[in-house]
């Protein structure tokens, strides 16, 4: 699939490189949750976007909602821990994250979930990554965002003030601590004319 990028948003094509993760900034949330943010972690995000949008086997999914089956409003591709990642830049990103968070996470990031939001109508609803161990254990989910800027919204599960972080091309956000079970996150739809975005989520084994 080839998705057009707006020239004004993306720089000249080139190779990708990662900035040092020592520059990441942590924001504590409530109940032992936190987020780490590093804007512009990946340089050359436009190049990676072009490669992934073309070479990843994007899948459309359908989901039951009450008495109807509806299209999931984004395209998906999942790489389990033994699968070859679709681009060497993703191996580098996963290794860098595993190295940086080794002492705190005490296990490497293993899987990569990729989502393609084709435009502002694509979204993901409020949820925590609680299918696996995230429902009972502290863990981390690291998201590398490339393509058009979109907001990631977060809110405490029991109710409370939501926050938003705008994720631009190459930006990193890591949700850590109890974030998956005590907070929820979403990519809200937007009426603004936004281009396509790819989210790359790295997770440890058994977190989904
Ligand atoms: O698009 C994103 O960055 C968030 C993706 C997400 O929350 C998920 O797929 O579980």
How confident is the model over 109-149, as pLDDT tens digits?
999 999 999 999 999 999 999 999 999 999 999 999 999 99
Asked if residue 49 has pLDDT above 60, the reply is yes
DSSP string, 80-91: -TTSPPSSHHHH
| Residues making up the chain, counted from first to last | 208
pLDDT at 8 (0 to 100): 33
Joined tokens for residue 30: 């409530």
Query: What percent of the chain shows pLDDT beyond 90?
Result: 92
Q: Is 197 in the pocket of ligand 1 (CB under 6 A)?
A: no
CB 38 within 8 A of CB 141: no
Q: What does the alpha-carbon distance between residue 148 and residue 46 come to, in Å, rounded to a whole number?
A: 10
Closest C-alpha to ligand 1, atom 3: 199
Asked if residue 154 has pLDDT above 90, the reply is yes
CB atoms within 10 A of CB 102: 11
Atom of ligand 1 nearest to the CA of 113: 9
pLDDT at 7 (0 to 100): 41
Atom of ligand 1 nearest to the CA of 117: 1
Cα–Cα distances in Å, from 63 out to 66, 71, 107? 10, 6, 32
CB 153 within 8 A of CB 138: no
CB atoms within 10 A of CB 92: 15
Ligand 1 centroid–CA 16 distance in Å is: 22
**CA angle (179 as vertex; 42, 78 as ends), nearest 5:** 55
Cα–Cα distances in Å, from 83 out to 47, 50, 55? 22, 21, 15
Model confidence, pTM: 0.93
Mutate to test the pocket of ligand 1, among 117, 119, 190, 201 (most ligand atoms within 8 A of CB): 201
Task: Give the residue among 39, 43, 35 at the shortest CA–CA distance from 10.
Answer: 43
CB 204 within 8 A of CB 101: no
pLDDT at 12 (0 to 100): 40
């Amino acid at each position: 699939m080839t998705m057009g990028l707006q020239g004004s948003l993306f720089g000249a094509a080139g190779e990708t490189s990662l900035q040092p993760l020592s520059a990441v900034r942590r924001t504590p949330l409530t109940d032992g949750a936190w987020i780490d943010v590093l804007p512009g972690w990946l340089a050359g995000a436009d190049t990676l976007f072009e490669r992934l949008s073309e070479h990843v086997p994007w899948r459309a999914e359908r989901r039951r909602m009450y008495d109807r089956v509806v299209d999931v409003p984004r395209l998906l591709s999942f790489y389990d821990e033994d699968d070859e990642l679709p681009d060497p830049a993703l191996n580098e990103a996963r290794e860098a994250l595993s190295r940086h968070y080794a002492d705190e996470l005490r296990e490497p990031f293993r899987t990569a979930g990729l989502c393609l939001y084709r435009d502002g109508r694509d979204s993901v609803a409020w949820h925590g990554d609680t299918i696996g161990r995230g429902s009972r254990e502290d863990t981390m989910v690291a998201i590398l965002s490339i393509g058009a800027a979109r907001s990631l919204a977060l809110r405490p599960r029991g109710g409370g003030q939501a926050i938003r972080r705008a994720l631009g091309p190459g930006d990193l956000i890591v949700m850590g601590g109890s974030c998956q079970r005590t907070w929820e996150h979403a990519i809200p739809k937007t009426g603004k004319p936004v281009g396509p975005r790819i989210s790359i989520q790295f997770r440890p084994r058994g977190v989904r």
